[in-house]
Structure formats: C-alpha cells, structure tokens
Chain A
C-alpha cells in the first residue's frame, strides 16, 4: 500500500504544483518509499519541463497553410482550422495571403446583418491598444460577414483559474490594471465591450494580457430561463442585473459590472450571484442574493474587496463612474515589482524554474538533504534558454536562434557573469528566457530573468524597429547587469556601446541567418560565410560579422585536402580576423580565429600562444579560446600547464561535454589513462549523444591494452558515422592485435571513403604503419605530413600511438624541426 504522502505528492505533480519534498521525506518509513519519492521528484521536473513547452515558451501552434487538405477560403484568407465556436459564429485560424501572416478570423452566421458587422468592424479597427486584440479588418464575402484580427497565443484567465485555482490578489490586481486599461481604450473609442469575462481575457506566454472578442457581446445569446448555466458560455453570470430587464441596453456601467465579476472570479473561482439555470440567476438578482467576496476568500486585501463591491453595486449610478477609477484603485495593490516588467507569467515560469532548482539541489547534495541557497559567489552563472520564435512564421526561426547567440555574446561582455549552457549536471544561478514576435513592422522581444529558486527577478518587453533588434540585445545585457546591481567597467561599457549602434535591417537579417547556421548547422558553414560576407558588404564597420565570418571559414579550411589551398584559405581567414580586431580589439572571437590559424597553419606557436592569451584576457567567458590554448600547450609538451588550464575550462563550463572530453584527451597525452577515461565518461554523462567521445574512449582503452573494450567503444562511434579518422583508428587497433583480415576489410572501406572525397588526414596512415611494425614508413609519412603543416601532426610529440618512435633520434629531430620541441 502506497504511503498517503506519496499519493498526495503524485497528485500535486499532476496538478502542476510545487511539492515540499522535505516534509514528505520526513513521513516516509522505508528506503523503498524514499526511493520512490526521489523518482517522483524526477517526474515532477519532467512534468515542469513539459509545462514549459506548453505554457511558458509555447511554440506558436502555427502551421504554414500549404499542408492542410481541402482548405477553404474566405476572401484573401485561407481557412486553416476552427479554433472556437459560439452563438455568434465561428473563429478560424487563417492565413492572410496578402500580408502573409496568420490571423484569427471570425465569421458570423447568416442571422447577422452584414452591414452592422462591417460598421462595427470599422469602429473596432480604430481601437489600438497594447492590451486589446488588434482588429485588422472586416468584410462581407458571398454574403458572409467576417472580422479578422491578430492571432493571440496563450491561455484564457478562465483556463488558468480552472487549472490552478484562484489567483493571488496582488497578481489579480495587476491583471485588473491591464484589463482596465484595455476597457478604457474601448470606451475611449466610443464603443462598449459588452462581454467582459474570464474566457475573453488571454494571457500570452510573454505575460501580455489581451482583451479579446470585441463586438461579439452585442449578440447576447438567446437562451431560455430553463437552460442550464453550464450549457451557456460564461456570459450570463457576468451580466449586470439591469440587463435582465426586457429592453435594457448595455452601457459603460454594465461593462464595469462585468469587470467586477471578473475581479471577483479571479481571486475566488466563484461568482457573486449564481444559480443553476438562467431562471435561478434572474431570481437571485431579484432577491438581491449577492455573495460578498470576503465570504469566499478571506485573505483578500480590503481595498481589493472594496473595488469589487462597488463595481457590483446593483444601482449602476453607485458603481465607479469610469474604468480609470478602477485602474487607479487597483494599481497600488498590484505586485510591488510590477514597475516596468511583465509579472503575469511569474507563477508559470516560477513553477518550472523551481523544478530546475530542485533538480540541481538533488544532484548536488543528494536526496533528502536540506536545500541550499545559491553560493554568494562574486561571479554569477547565467544560462540563456533559446529565444522562442513567436512570429508565427516558422521560417523565421533563424531570427530567434541568431538573437540567442547575440544575447549570449553581449552578456559575455559582462565580466562578473559567467554565461553557460544549461543542463541538469550543474546548476546555474540565473536563467534568462525570452521570445521574439512581430508586431506590425516592428519586432517585440520579451525576456524574463529568474533566480535559482524560481523567483522572477526582472522582465521586460522591448519593441524595436528591425534595424535595432541586434542593439536591443546589448540593452538587455545592460538591464540584466543593472538588475543584479553589477557595475560595468569602462571596458565593459565600451564593448556594449559598440553593440548598440543601429544596423541596416538587411545586414542585421543576414547576420542572424549567418549566426543561426554557424551555430546550429555544422554542415552549412559555407552558407553562413556567404551571409556574413553580405553583412560586411553593407556594414563594413560591423566587427562581429568579420569575426564570425572568419570563425565559419575555419570549417572549410580544416577540411581542405589540398595543402596550397589550405595556405590560401588560412591567409584570407587571418585577414578577416585582423579586420575584426582592428574594428574592435575587445572581440574575443577575433583572437580565437587569428590564434587558430597561427597555431594550425603557420605553426607559429609563440604568436599563437600570445594571441590566445590576449583573447582570454578580453573575454574570459569564451571557453573555446581556453580550449584551444590548452591543446597548443599539449602539442608543445607542456602537459602540466595544459591540464591545469583544461581543468579550469571544465570548471567554468561543466555542462559542455567537449570541455570534459578535451581534458580527457590531455590526460591521454600525459599517459594518465585512468584519469582520461574518467573525464571522457564525464563528458558522456553530460551528453550521451556526443558520439565522438566514444572514439576518444576507444583510443584510451587501446593505449591501456584493452583491445576488446577499445573496439567496442569505436564501434559505438562508428554506428553513428563512418568517418575516415575513426575507421583508421579501428584498423590500427585491429592491426596491433594481429587481426589482419579484419583490418584489411576496414582499410578497404577507408580507401573507399577517401576516394569519395571524405576528409581524412594523411598522418593516420603513419599510426597504422607503426602498429604493423613499419617504423621507417611511419616516420616518412609523419615527415611528409609535417612538411605540409597537416594540423593533426601537431600532437605527435605526446601521442601514445607514436610511443614506439620516441627513442629514434630522427623522430626527435622532426619534433625540433616542427618547432614543438626546443
């Protein structure tokens, strides 16, 4: 029989509530129960992750219109699917073929006079307000009247209350402030809403509160007294008492009454006047049976209850004279941190962030221990979640991806922040989430910062011209720094200022495309380069584009089989990097690119070391620079220094599998195989999909003489990709174990792959020759590779596979000639 506490915990997880694991574990008697509780805690985090997908950072559920079979059309709008039905008509998600965007289309049933709908549509289109859904137009097509408007993604207040229960009064007051501004805008346009209710207010993922369904309210559902209220959309419960009299007209005062019911409902999930049927409801109004708010929700601030009571006055003249009055009464009650931020999605985001924090804590201190506060370290770690594309246009995903990269690089300019990737293996102290959406011709970027406990520290929405979307990221970095009370040094300030100048929109767009490809499409680096080239054609003084272009060009350079073409590419890349550094000497990536060419191509190790060190100085956050410097030190035989740096790299970015696997490789070069295995396995724990780690593991096992384990590991890597380099290592291990026929089969596949032009490195053959005992041939190949400056040859001074040559004076002379040994 399961423990009651566990059943309750499961119920809370199902409800999406936070579970107090500490108090639960104190009631559990057996280890088995505690283990189940630990697994439930895991499930609650998985549930929180999914809620994040559905609620906090929803992907616009928008689909390009070309896949839906048998689609219908109304005027210039393609009907995609039905999103709602009411007595007035049907709401569709539709594709606006003129403006090429998704809209919501409301088609009215034949009973409505098309002219009236048109007239109303024209008036509604005049209401432009942040918190009111924007009506784009109205038309009559084939006798069917319709209105089309902005498509809103989010959940209605009704859904939120039904799912999560009553809302905290402070949060309700904040929502109330937004809704009152929205109603005020409708009234100011000379209109009435007539259907203010929880089903008609939507909270978007960004926290924006939007009043919906304008104009529909004029059509009060024709219902009979005997109708069950549950059959009628919420409306009657929100109707002012005077509207139950025949011939009564809606007024501003009836909107205010409905608003009062909404405020009542938000904090109590109840209605002030209720009944099972329309008849009962009428009777309750006649009898004056009104439930005071205090009776159903005790801890509501008196000022809130007073606002509600006045709005619900039976006599319209006794209610607030205008919605503005409600707004000014609610403002002081709203969340104190409400100034300038969007606190409305706090509860949702917090739920997820708590999940993350709790996970971090479980891994750190083991189940059952008390939660620890984040260490008050000087440097704070911050993770940036991928910015969500809420433009409704999937082809604009690159904007969100590119902006994420720009935001990360701007945050990295703030020295006291450590920007890291975000995973379960190591907790981050701060979490930044954001979304990007298009509003008319402008771009709206929303961001929220939460701490480890899931408390929202700050949130902001910026609406900018397309030319300013890149500079907005620097603004955000500044705001984050300000919110954390970090003082920016002159250098940090200068760096951010550089990022703040406006950019030609076409250049900005090309830059985002390039960044998105550069970061997420390893096989499309050439395309990334051409986008960056376009950027610098338009904006030649934009340093980051030069640096990114050089960075993306390294790909083609490193896979270029022809030695003289490599030289040409390398010199071009160096010029590109120099251009970037000329424009902005604080650009870490510029040093990374320049140092890489000095290291890989020029074999000018002294310059490369100086360049990398300068890069680390200007951008200590860039793990790639530290990584490459550690590899340089290893090549030079300075293994202690290399390992020291490798450990620091790993510490700084524990969530990057690559940092751990690199450290493993450094231990491998130092012939410390046990340690090497441990680090590579750590990389796999962080990211099991990092298959290259299996290849590295295979090399270490081979060095330990564990042939079977080595072959199994490399087999695992080969199962995902049959790279020549991996095949060559497989063949080498088979050769050293004397399995000739098997080896020959692999060599045949290798030759095939090379014939197809798959990139391979000529030094591989040397290791194979060595495994077969042919030292002279191996030495000859290595000497030729060194002459061509084949980058993989750089580590032969420390590579265990070449140990058999160490005693040979010719090999020692080769190392000196290469410059890796004095």
Chain B
C-alpha cells in the first residue's frame, strides 16, 4: 500500500500521494480559509506544507484505508487553518465603535452557507462513525467519484459506494437534528 511505501522513504510514492490529495484539499481549503487570513500565506502553500508535515507523522497513523487517510489529511488541514486564523487575529484592528475597515472574518463557505450552520455540520460530522464520516468527506467535501470511493473504502462497486454515501448523509442529518 501507498502508505507503507511512503514510510519506507519512497519519494515516488510520496509524489503520488501529493498528486492524489493536493488539488482536492487545496480547493477544499480555499472554501475554509477567510480571505483576510489568506494574504500572507497562499492556500496551496498552506495545504502542501501541511501534507508534507502530516506525512512525516504517518508512523502514528493507523490507516484503515485511503478513505481514512483522506479524512485524516482533511483534519490536519482544518487544524492548520484554525491555527492560521488564530495567529492572524492578533493583528490590530481599528476602534470597533465606528470603523469602516471590514471586519468580516468569514471564509467563503461560511459566507455562502452561514457560520452557525457550518459549525453545526462540522460538529455533527465529528460525531459520526468513522466510515460514515469518511464517506461524507470523500463525496460531499472532496468531490470524489463513486468509483474512487469504492476503491478507497473497499466497497465492491460504485453503486455500493453510493449507497454508503446516501446512508451516511441520512445519518448525518439525524445527528444534526439531535443537535448538541
């Protein structure tokens, strides 16, 4: 498996992993990184850097498969984005009483969907069982095809992967309904 080869220091395997995950995660991250936090570090750089660092820590990663790996990498990028936001918040802002400098700290996805809604979705996703979470991340967030999901998550056919994703979405909706 790819991970084993990377652990053995196989650069080609590492490149392969980058090819597979970098473009998707970069597009995903561009939805999660607020514009104001973006001017200092470009999204792609941030994702690439995070991937290289995460790969260095893969020894501690008990991979059940590529679906799990993708969810793990997404989590790493998410944490990195949160760090970035915290770091950059420490910039001076003008007097809050009457300023015209925009103070909107939302990411494009938060803007499009609503911060509260997205936060609730994220929390509910975290509470799902691993397989459902990986399925939702792969299909909804990363835009993987059913065939890719079937391969990554050991499902016999694309149809089986589609069934798994549908059920996972329903579970997620139920989780969101129960709320916190």
Contact = CB atoms under 8 A, between A and B. Distances in A.
B173 A628 contact: no
Contacts of B39: 397, 516-517, 520-521, 524
A49 B109 contact: yes
Contacts of A27: none
A421 B23 CA distance: 28
A14 B169 contact: yes
B121 A42 contact: yes
A797 to B, nearest CB: 14
Given A50-B143, A63-B22, A555-B101, A422 B166 contact: no
A657 B111 CA distance: 12
A10 B166 contact: yes
A504 interface: no
A62 B110 CA distance: 24
A50 B141 contact: yes
B145 A386 contact: no
Residue among B89, B93, B113, B121 with most chain A CB within 10 A? B113
A520 B102 CA distance: 8
Nearest to A47: B140
A429 to B, nearest CB: 16
Interface residues of B, number: 73
B147 to A, nearest CB: 8
Contacts of B92: 522-523, 559, 723, 758-759
Interface in A615-657: 624, 627-628, 631, 656-657
A50 B106 contact: no
B145 A59 contact: no
Nearest to A558: B94
Interface string A568-591: 000000000000000000000000
A43 B35 contact: no
B180 interface: no
A628 B118 CA distance: 32
A422 B176 contact: no
Contacts of B98: 627-628, 631, 662
A310 B20 CA distance: 41
A791 B49 CA distance: 44
A7 B11 contact: no
B173 A687 contact: no
A394 B45 contact: yes
B170 A7 contact: yes
B139 A657 contact: no
Nearest to A72: B15
Nearest to B117: A42
A657 B103 CA distance: 9
Contacts, number: 238
A59 B44 contact: yes
Contact of B105 (A32, A50, A689): A689
Contacts of B166: 7, 10-11, 13-14
Interface stretch (A33-41, A272-280, A768-776): A33-41
B97 interface: yes
Contact of A761 (B38, B93, B95, B113): B95
Contact of B162 (A11, A32, A67, A689): A11
A421 B104 contact: yes
A117 interface: no
A448 to B, nearest CB: 16
Interface string B38-59: 1100111100110010000000
A787 interface: no
A687 B89 contact: no
B117 A692 contact: no
A64 interface: yes
Interface in A678-718: 685, 687-692, 695-696
B1 interface: no
Contact of B36 (A2, A62, A521): A521
A523 B106 contact: no
A612 B58 CA distance: 59
B115 to A, nearest CB: 5
Given A42-B117, A627-B98, A10 B173 contact: yes
A40 B136 CA distance: 13
A69 B145 contact: no
B172 interface: yes
Contacts of B100: 551, 554, 592, 624, 627-628
B62 interface: no
Interface string B140-176: 1111010000000000000000100111011011101
26 contacts: A7-B166, A11-B166, A14-B166, A15-B162, A32-B177, A39-B172, A49-B113, A50-B31, A51-B143, A53-B31, A53-B108, A55-B143, A58-B27, A359-B114, A386-B108, A394-B44, A397-B39, A423-B106, A520-B38, A522-B94, A523-B91, A559-B94, A627-B98, A690-B105, A696-B97, A723-B93
